[in-house]
Amino acid sequence: MDYFQSILFFLKKPTLSTYLTLRCCCLLLCFSSIAFSQKDSIGGSIHLQEVRVVDKGVDKFYTQSRFSLGTRLQVADSAVIAQIQNSSLSEYLLRNTSIFIKESGNGMLSSISLRGTSSSHTAVSWNGLNINPLTMGQVDFSQLPLFFFEKIAVHPGGESALYGNGSIGGSILLGSDAEYKKRWTGLVQESVGSYGYNFSGAKVQGGTNKWQMRTALMYTYCENDFDIQRASFSGTKKEKQQNAEYWNYGFLQDVAWKISTRNELTVNAWHTYYYREIQPSIQNNKDTASYDDITSRNTRVVATFKHRGSISWTSRMAYIDDYQLNQGDVIATSNYIAGADAEKSWKCFSFKGGASVQYIAPHVYSYDSGVTEWRENFYLLSRCQLSSRWDADVNLCQNFVSGIHVPFTPSAGTSYKLLRTECNELSVRGNCSRSFKVPTLNDRYWGGLDNRYLKPEDGVNTEMGLDYLFHAKKYTTQLNASVYYNRVKNWIMWMPRGNTWKPQNVDLVAAKGIEASLKQTLSMQKLTVNLTLNCAYTLTTVLEGFDDMTPFNNRQMPLLPKYTANGLLQVNYSRAYFTVNTCYVGERATSNVYDIMDAYVVTNLSAGYNFHIGKQILSLSAQLNNVFDQEYETVPFRAMPLQNWTSTLKWIF
């Protein structure tokens, strides 16, 4: 028992010795595995399809998405991830999708807006486990390190039948998948950059044809003292950003055991610790009375047993501990989950059914004592291949939450191949789904109040899309376009009521828009050129609401741009690569509908070279961010850095 208590103390009370111990562990981890080094490498340039329509050939990690025809699954290119592994998921989404990310400063709170919905309308799952904090309901994407994930995908569309609570705008899928091969690979990475930035990471994975393990460790620090322009009575002055330092560490452990040809047991554990000062507004940069900081600790463990047979089934048990400390005030939840599902395929039909139960025990200073909650989920998914070109699905889901009536959430979709030749493929698709989000614990219990009058948010999403693929020997073009309309009843917003803020249901909000993406790849001997373009038009408006929302009737909701776009050009020649990335975000209104934030364009450059030393690789790379010194804000009065750089050294063995 003393051993486990010492581990918990180590995780909860990080010190300088913790940091040094982590770095030593990184080195020991790598040197202990060098004897097993192979030519295959972690972080190598493995190319996946950037965007593709879900079909039977989809990666087995995303099997749930096979039952969502008519939607579009965007799978991350692992070669792109490998180049920015020292970054967070928010940076990947900003640079490679049309999703809008609101950042309260460099390395600060990063919240998502997927298809014009709010930050709590996107469900984030890790190895099938929903990790949205139950207090706030929204994930901070700056606290999701790319270094830990092998699988990343974005699944837009309200599919609560598949992903459960909170997936009104869509879902983000994260995790890893075991490959039972007799080999060991490893990676050590060190990155340094502007404003005292430093990232250290190491990971190793390998095993046999019966078992596999993967261990990863990382540490990040940034002083974050970039230059800002602050207006005063005497004019604009340049000064250093104050109170914006952050640091974090984390480790991840995956273990997989193939018990037999039909049975497999996996255990995934993930722990992170974050400390950051809360970056003040530009005008309060020198006001020490406004300075604040926050500490977060997250522990997630999931054990999964899989049986493959005529009827394949899976059982899962999980534990999540989310802890946050601000000025001595604790906001924490303990979350216990158990579930099982079974799948059967027969001729042209596939069926999958499952159930889960969840017990939630919050420990929040602002709640009355004795608050707990039970949640149950039951679903049935079905898919049918009507012909060689036509597929359809129907999905049913019902959730139960203590003291709350949750709507029934069905969905149906279809996909049809209009054209299929040796080089061309053209498909049309459509989907209609119902989704929901239960009011968060903070919505209902913050301040010792009982706000159970709040109704669950209830969305109905309709989507149609067109997908075209041309592939020749050296050239590939992929074009995807979607148009969608999402009506959300009882949208929850926090509004000021005198000296306090309270949540309130907005009767009806509509989020509609168009998304398009184009990817072209040209391969010629040692040269590969990839060009990816994404753009979106999004309009989120209040159709019916209370008086305070009247100014936004038929106008874009606050802080959401109508237009977003980005482009990525990547050139690989032999062992070298060069990339150019440009992101555009359109105008946004603040809480004052007539106060408009300027549009902006940010351009980033990167280049790298891989030196092969026997069976090992030494990789050098550099990034130049915000090349043209664009001044911009994604949240009002929160400064973002101007031109800055990062350089990285990797040892792959």
Beta strand pairing call for 475-497 and 457-471: antiparallel
pLDDT (mean) for 435-445: 95
Q: Which of 44-58, 147-161, 277-291, 447-461 has the lowest mean pLDDT?
A: 44-58
Is a pLDDT exceeding 80 seen at residue 1? no
pLDDT (mean) for 369-393: 95
Task: Name the β-bridge partners of 617.
Answer: 612, 652
606-632 pLDDT, tens digit per residue, is 999 999 999 899 999 999 999 999 999
Is a pLDDT exceeding 70 seen at residue 645? yes
410-433 pLDDT, tens digit per residue, is 999 999 999 999 999 999 999 999
Which string of DSSP letters, residue by residue, matches 138-173?
A: ---GGGSBGGG-SEEEEEES--HHHH-TTTTSEEEE
Mean pLDDT of the residues in the chain = 89
pLDDT (0 to 100) of residue 37: 36
Could you tell me which residues come within 8 angstroms of residue 413 by beta carbon, excluding any fewer than 6 positions away?
68, 69, 70, 71, 392, 393, 429, 430, 431, 432, 433
167-179 pLDDT, tens digit per residue, is 999 999 999 888 8
pLDDT (0 to 100) of residue 62: 85
> Count of H helices and E strands in the chain?
6, 34
pLDDT (0 to 100) of residue 46: 33
Is a pLDDT exceeding 50 seen at residue 23? no
Query: Where does 2-652 sit in CATH, by number?
Result: 2.40.170.20
pLDDT (0 to 100) of residue 35: 35
What would the 3-class secondary structure string for 287-352 be?
Answer: CHHHCEEEEEEEEEEEEEEEECCCEEEEEEEEEEEEEEEECCEEEEEEEEEEEEEEEEEECCEEEE
Is a pLDDT exceeding 70 seen at residue 28? no
pLDDT (0 to 100) of residue 38: 38
Of 206, 180, 90, 229, the C-alpha closest to 632 is: 229
Amino acid identity, position 525? Q
Q: Which of 264-268, 449-453, 460-464 has the lowest mean pLDDT?
A: 449-453
Is a pLDDT exceeding 50 seen at residue 19? no
Structure tokens at 625: 């961010």
Q: How far apart are CA 500 and CA 364, in angstroms?
A: 18
Higher pLDDT among residues 34 and 63, named by residue: 63
pLDDT (0 to 100) of residue 2: 40
Is a pLDDT exceeding 50 seen at residue 44? no
Is a pLDDT exceeding 50 seen at residue 47? no
Backbone angles phi, psi at 163, to 5 degrees: -115, 0
Backbone angles phi, psi at 394, to 5 degrees: -140, 130
pLDDT (mean) for 49-67: 60
Taking the domains of the chain in order of start, what are their residue ranges? 2-652
pLDDT (0 to 100) of residue 30: 40
pLDDT (mean) for 536-560: 85
pLDDT (0 to 100) of residue 390: 96
Angle (nearest 5°) at CA 536 between 532 and 540: 160
pLDDT (mean) for 326-345: 96
Is a pLDDT exceeding 70 seen at residue 248? yes
32-41 pLDDT, tens digit per residue, is 333 333 333 3
pLDDT (mean) for 372-378: 97
- Residue 325 C-beta-side C-alpha neighbours within 13 Å: 9
Q: How confident is the model at residue 59 (pLDDT cuts 50, 70, 90)?
A: low
115-172 pLDDT, tens digit per residue, is 999 999 999 999 999 999 999 999 999 999 999 999 999 999 989 999 999 999 999 9
pLDDT (0 to 100) of residue 405: 92
Q: What three-state secondary structure class fits 565?
A: strand
Higher pLDDT among residues 3 and 321, named by residue: 321
Tell me the torsion sign for CA atoms 260, 261, 263, 268: positive
Of 470, 467, 389, 387, the C-alpha closest to 422 is: 470
Is a pLDDT exceeding 50 seen at residue 7? no
**Share in percent of the chain as helix, strand, coil (round to 5):** 15, 55, 30
Higher pLDDT among residues 110 and 1, named by residue: 110
The residue assigned the tokens 């900081």 is: 293
